Amino acid sequence: VPKVSDEHLTARREQILEGARRAFAKHGYESATVARLEEEIGLSRGAIFHYFPDKWSLFFELAVRDQTRWNTLIIERGIDDLARTIYAENPDWLGVYLELARHIRTHPELAEQLEQRMTEEELPSGKARLRELQEEGALRDDVPLDKLAEFVNVVLNGIVAQYASGTELDVESVLKLVHEGLDPRAK
């Protein structure tokens, strides 16, 4: 029996995840049936579910990737670059997050699962970066950091929601107003 190399396993996982992302974006999460996943991934259900126990796990891994990428981006480059990156994503894929809002809210253990996994990834701390910015004088210090983070999250979620529903948006002018809420030097 030939030994399946790690490289091969990694390539397979990649193929499955990227096919699943296409299937979710194209049909929506609910309507991405096993047959449609097979078609988009190009593997049988047996092969797919050998690597991932169920449809949720496929979405979960994709969400971990996005969160990791977006988290790194906002820390290294700031909210403007993250907002522009999100606005350049496929709106069909962003819509999958909106579609899953109810599912996540009614299954709080799934949100916890994601949070725990993100902790394990040992990403640079967003809060530490905010504190740095505050110390540099680039962030106001009269509002608690977690409230500033909450405001930023609301804005980013709003950009996702408008973009996914097809409303045109001038991201730059939104960002200008966001900075006036965040930055004591902006006005």
Distances (CA, A) of 92 to 18, 45, 66, 75, 109: 14, 24, 14, 26, 25
**For 160, which DSSP code?**
H
Site track 13-52 with its own copies (rule: CB under 8 A), x = hit:
---------------x-xx---------------------
CA dist., res. 59 & res. 56, Å (int)? 5
Alpha helices in the chain, H assignment, sequence order? 6-27, 34-41, 45-51, 55-77, 79-87, 91-99, 101-106, 108-120, 126-135, 145-164, 171-182
92 lines the binding site for its own copies (CB under 8 A) = yes
DSSP SS3 for 144: coil
For its own copies (CB under 8 A), the number of binding residues is: 47
Length, in residues, of the chain: 187
Candidates 10, 90, 116, 153: give the one binding its own copies (CB under 8 A).
153
166 lines the binding site for its own copies (CB under 8 A) = yes
Stretch that binds its own copies, among 10-18, 70-78, 106-114, 128-136 (CB under 8 A): 106-114
101 lines the binding site for its own copies (CB under 8 A) = yes
Residues in touch with its own copies (CB under 8 A): 28, 30-31, 91-92, 95, 98-102, 104-106, 108, 111, 143, 147-148, 150-151, 153-162, 164-167, 169-170, 173-174, 176-178, 180-182, 184, 187
